[in-house]
């Protein structure tokens, strides 16, 4: 990689004839700031990718673009932007400069061609999949996924006419083959499911998707691109509830969709008309116009712009600010989680700990191979005494917050059976492993000794 300082001066470089009074050195150059972060390390890109120069005041932090709309230069400029011939901004429901910073930063970290930020993780999943499947069509998903996503599939997607079929054993090719039909338009899964930490071999699921000629959409919320980049393992599209680890501060909702730019839409045996059909008479298709960014362009225009889950400029700002410390936070999340999982695993008032980094987990080999044994910081612990034990335990916590959220710098605990999974039938809860005494933990970045003291105090009440 060649940095700007190692190259010949550019037109943007400034030649100084004299640096200070009495200094006889002349003709040296001042290097222009870097704005192309391709080739730089992850930790550098998480701080800088997506930045643009503030030509008004030279602000070092990207200004928040609080505007609903944008001026057109002329009649022809407006027509060009709406036809797709121009790339200027139209309306903040579609795109906003503050969101663009976050989009470019996340696309860089995930290794995608383009990203779209939206109002929440649920909005990201909805837009990503409705761009692919319509009424009368189907999606296949692994069964162990975030409860809110299962509710979304079973309620709103059902009303839209999109059916979702579940695979319970993602290692069983025959089960995939039974569930995938000619109407199946996408496969959906998560890298680290919530709350069971039953991690998924993305490369294996990607081979299933390739064999059937359909795109693989992966929710990477809990792992984040710090731990794994699903596109490198064969995924085609990545989604995030960027409210969680990408932001880290728990102050604002956001969601993200990342286009991998590699799926061969034109050769698929499935139909994706929003991508391959002409946009309007006499105009080429989005795929012909945009190639490796076609899916992102289509999703932004035909779903996000139509339905309207825009991310506010202020929340966009909070998102790209949070990303700047992602790797630092993740190291502490992961270290704390392994320490606490190991401690809980040996506690006499604990029945089981679902953490793939523990040697007794059926997912331990996969956790070692994919994550070096550190399988995120969201996992479950089942305490003695069933629901009564869970109640006593939760009510005894003082440092760890009782709340619904994950991926915050603060540690959190929740009882899924009576909250996130309360609308599921007992049979589905049992099959998902949501026992009456199961508690979901999201481990933050506090001192681990203080967290263990809090857990021990709560467990002593059982």
Is residue 17 pLDDT above 80, yes or no? no
Percentage above 90 pLDDT, the chain: 86
Write down the pLDDT at residue 27.
Answer: 78
Note the pLDDT of residue 24: 53
Looking at residue 83, its pLDDT comes to 82
CA atoms of 52 and 54, how far apart (whole Å): 6
In this chain, the answer to whether the domains covering 75-323 and 326-459 adopt an identical fold is no
pLDDT at residue 28 greater than cutoff 70: yes
Q: What is the pLDDT of residues 31-50, one digit of tens each?
A: 988 899 999 999 999 999 99
pLDDT at residue 252, as a whole number: 96
Residue 161 burial by Cβ neighbours in a 10 Å radius (0-12, 13-18, 19+)? exposed
Rounded to whole angstroms, the Cα distance separating 44 from 1 reads: 14
Question: What pLDDT digit, counting tens, does each position of 329-369 carry?
Answer: 999 999 999 999 999 999 999 999 999 999 999 999 999 99
Average pLDDT value for residue range 98-115: 97
Q: What's the pLDDT tens digit per position in 320-330?
A: 999 999 999 99
What values do phi and psi take at 239, rounded to 5? -125, 155
Report how far apart, in Å, the C-alpha atoms of 256 and of each of 180, 189, 271, 276, 412 are.
26, 16, 25, 24, 23
Question: Does residue 5 surpass a pLDDT of 50?
Answer: no
Q: Name the 3-class secondary structure at 16.
A: strand
pLDDT digit string, tens, across residues 385-413 = 999 999 999 999 999 999 999 999 999 99
- 221 vs 63 pLDDT, higher one: 221
Predicted confidence (pLDDT) at residue 120 exceeds the cutoff of 80: yes
Domain ranges of the chain: 4-48, 75-323, 326-459
Q: What is the mean pLDDT of the chain?
A: 93
Rounded to an integer, the average pLDDT of 408-426 is: 97
Whether the pLDDT of residue 248 is over 70: the answer is: yes
- Assess whether pLDDT exceeds 60 at residue 190: yes
**280 or 351: whose pLDDT is higher?**
351
User: CA–CA separation, 393 vs 405, rounded Å?
Assistant: 18
376 sits in the region (left: phi over 0; alpha: psi -120 to 50; else beta) called left
pLDDT at position 158 is: 97
- Residue 390's Cβ-side half-sphere holds a number of Cα atoms within 13 Å equal to 22
Residue 13, pLDDT above cutoff 90: no
pLDDT (0 to 100) of residue 23: 52
Q: Which two tokens stand for residue 372?
A: 């070096």
* Model confidence pTM above 0.85: yes
Highest CATH level, class, for 75-323? alpha beta
**Mean pLDDT over residues 60-76, rounded?**
92
Among 182, 175, 240, 250, CA closest to 214:
182
pLDDT score of 18: 44
CATH architecture for residues 326-459: Alpha-Beta Complex (3.90)
């Amino acid at each position: 990689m060649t940095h700007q300082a190692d190259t010949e001066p550019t037109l943007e470089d400034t030649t100084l004839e004299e640096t200070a009074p009495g200094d006889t050195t002349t003709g040296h150059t001042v290097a222009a700031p870097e704005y192309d972060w391709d080739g730089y390390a992850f930790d550098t890109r998480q701080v800088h990718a997506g930045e643009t120069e503030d030509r008004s005041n030279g602000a070092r932090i990207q200004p928040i673009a609080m505007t609903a709309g944008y001026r057109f230069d002329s009649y022809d400029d407006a027509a060009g932007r709406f036809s797709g011939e121009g790339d200027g901004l139209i309306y903040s429901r579609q795109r906003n400069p503050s969101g663009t910073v976050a989009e470019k930063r996340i696309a860089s970290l995930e290794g995608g061609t383009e990203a779209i930020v939206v109002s929440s993780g649920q909005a990201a999943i909805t837009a990503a999949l409705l761009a692919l499947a319509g009424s009368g069509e189907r999606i296949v998903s692994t069964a162990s996924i975030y409860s809110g996503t299962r509710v979304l599939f079973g309620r709103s997607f059902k009303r839209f006419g999109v059916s979702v079929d579940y695979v319970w054993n993602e290692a069983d090719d025959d089960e995939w083959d039974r569930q995938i039909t000619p109407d199946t338009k996408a496969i959906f899964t998560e890298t680290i499911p919530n709350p069971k930490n039953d991690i998924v071999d993305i490369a294996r699921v990607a081979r299933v998707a390739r064999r059937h000629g359909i795109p693989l959409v992966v929710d990477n919320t809990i792992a984040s691109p710090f731990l794994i980049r699903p596109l490198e393992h064969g995924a085609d599209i990545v989604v995030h509830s960027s409210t969680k680890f990408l932001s880290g501060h728990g102050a604002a909702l956001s969601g993200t969709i990342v286009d991998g730019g590699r799926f061969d839409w034109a050769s698929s045996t499935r139909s994706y008309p929003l991508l391959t059909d002409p946009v309007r008479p006499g105009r080429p298709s989005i795929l012909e116009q945009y190639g490796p960014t076609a899916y992102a362009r289509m999703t932004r225009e035909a779903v996000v712009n139509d339905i309207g889950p825009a991310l506010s400029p202020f929340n966009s700002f909070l998102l790209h600010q949070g990303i700047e410390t992602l790797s630092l936070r993740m190291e502490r999340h992961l270290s704390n989680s392994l320490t606490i999982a190991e401690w809980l695993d040996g506690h006499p008032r604990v029945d089981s700990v679902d953490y793939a980094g523990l040697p007794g987990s059926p997912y331990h080999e996969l956790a070692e191979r994919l994550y070096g044994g550190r399988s995120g910081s969201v996992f479950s612990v089942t305490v003695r005494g069933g629901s009564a034990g869970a109640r006593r335990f939760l009510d005894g916590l003082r440092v760890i917050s009782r709340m619904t959220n994950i991926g915050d710098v603060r540690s959190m605990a929740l009882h899924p059976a009576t909250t996130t999974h309360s609308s599921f039938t007992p049979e589905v809860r049992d099959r998902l492993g949501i026992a009456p005494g199961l508690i979901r933990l999201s481990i933050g970045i506090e001192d681990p000794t203080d967290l263990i003291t809090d857990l021990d105090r709560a467990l002593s009440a059982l």
